[in-house]
Amino acid sequence: MPEVEPSFPPSFDLHWTWFRRGVRASVSIPGLILTSAFVGFAGLAKDAGLGLGETVFMVAVVWALPAKVVLIGAVLSGSSVWGAAFAVALSSVRLMPMVVALVPEMRGPRTPRWVLYALSHFVAVTSWVLAMDQLRHVPRDLRTTYYAGLGGTLVLANMVVVAVVFSIAGSLPPLVSAALLLLTPMYFLTSLWGSARERAGHVAMAIGLVLGPLFHLLLPGFDLLAAGVIGGGAAYAFHLAARPKAS
């Protein structure tokens, strides 16, 4: 059945209702796992010598957890500001396909471009997975409002969590902090595996799991890049080979 667009803008009350639904959607198992990983990040930032304000500010402006870990690594290695910025930007390129897939789902007939640009800041694996699963149930004119509630709550909640944990990180065992930090990649893998719509996605992840440790030994520093290029290329070749031939 084709989607019918309303002929008039939604009311403020309607926007507020869907914003609150987005806020509630952030309170989920994926959101809890993400928050637990930020507990580990707070301990990592404190051990690296960052201040409370710097750490909370990093959560707000960088947001994606792997990019923040890369930034801390760049700071500890003595990289320049431009070198650190380039490293963070390079690590965040992986989010571009998610933005490209999500923006058409959020865009409504009256959506200003600046709203889409602003909401793109909230795109990370957790918010992307939750949004792609739920947006089809949200009226198109209200999808940006819903995602603002979802993404904004995840960012604000983890800013608060990082601030609290940073203050008590000295009493948290290092093993616990490390274990909590590792929950995020485990969640990313299981979520992406379950949400993959084609077999090629599973092939790419399986190849990456094999090639990642191998290239870490053979090409340290370029392991993720090599595994991504080779694994992604192999998965794309699999997709082309498995695609039904036109008669």
Q: Out of 98-102, 216-220, 241-245, which region has the weakest mean confidence (pLDDT)?
A: 241-245
In a domain, 22, yes or no: yes
Task: Say whether both 30 and 124 belong to one domain.
Answer: yes
Task: Say whether both 116 and 236 belong to one domain.
Answer: no
In a domain, 241, yes or no: yes
Task: Say whether both 210 and 119 belong to one domain.
Answer: no
> Model confidence over 67-99: pLDDT tens digits?
888 888 888 777 778 878 887 888 788 788 889
In order, the DSSP letters of the chain are -PPPPPSSPPPHHHHHHHHHHHHHHHSSHHHHHHHHHHHHHHHHHHHTT--HHHHHHHHHHT-SHHHHHHHHHHHHTT--HHHHHHHHHHHHGGGHHHHHHHHHHH--TT--HHHHHHHHTT-SHHHHHHHHHHGGGS-GGGHHHHHHHHHHHHHHHHHHHHHHHHHHGGGS-HHHHHHHHHHHHHHHHHHHHHH--SHHHHHHHHHHHHHHHHHHHHSTTSHHHHHHHHHHHHHHHHHHHHSPPP-
* Alpha-carbon gap, residue 162 to 114, rounded angstroms: 29
- Whether residue 168 is predicted with pLDDT greater than 50 in this model: the reply is yes
In a domain, 69, yes or no: yes
- Whether residue 61 is predicted with pLDDT greater than 80 in this model: the reply is yes
User: How much is the pLDDT for 14?
Assistant: 87
Q: What's the number of domains the chain is made of?
A: 2
Task: Say whether both 222 and 174 belong to one domain.
Answer: no
In a domain, 3, yes or no: no
- More reliable by pLDDT, 126 or 2: 126
The whole-number average pLDDT for the span 160-183 is 76
Which pLDDT band holds residue 172 (cuts at 50, 70, 90)?
low
- Whether residue 46 is predicted with pLDDT greater than 70 in this model: the reply is yes
- Whether residue 209 is predicted with pLDDT greater than 90 in this model: the reply is no
* Alpha-carbon gap, residue 86 to 111, rounded angstroms: 31
The whole-number average pLDDT for the span 164-192 is 71
- Whether residue 49 is predicted with pLDDT greater than 80 in this model: the reply is yes
- Whether residue 247 is predicted with pLDDT greater than 50 in this model: the reply is no
Task: Say whether both 51 and 126 belong to one domain.
Answer: yes
Task: Say whether both 133 and 62 belong to one domain.
Answer: yes
- More reliable by pLDDT, 163 or 235: 163
Task: Say whether both 179 and 205 belong to one domain.
Answer: no
Q: Which residues constitute the domain of residue 242?
A: 196-247
**To the nearest whole percent, how much of the chain has pLDDT over 90?**
21
pLDDT averaged over every residue in the chain: 82
Residues 6+ apart with CB under 8 A from 124: 63, 64, 65, 95, 98, 154
- From 184, 207, 233, the end of a domain falls on 184
The whole-number average pLDDT for the span 138-165 is 92
User: How much is the pLDDT for 119?
Assistant: 93
User: How much is the pLDDT for 1?
Assistant: 44
User: How much is the pLDDT for 4?
Assistant: 47
In a domain, 189, yes or no: no
The whole-number average pLDDT for the span 144-173 is 88
- Whether residue 27 is predicted with pLDDT greater than 70 in this model: the reply is yes
User: How much is the pLDDT for 183?
Assistant: 65
In a domain, 7, yes or no: no
User: What's this model's pTM, rounded to 2 decimal places?
Assistant: 0.71
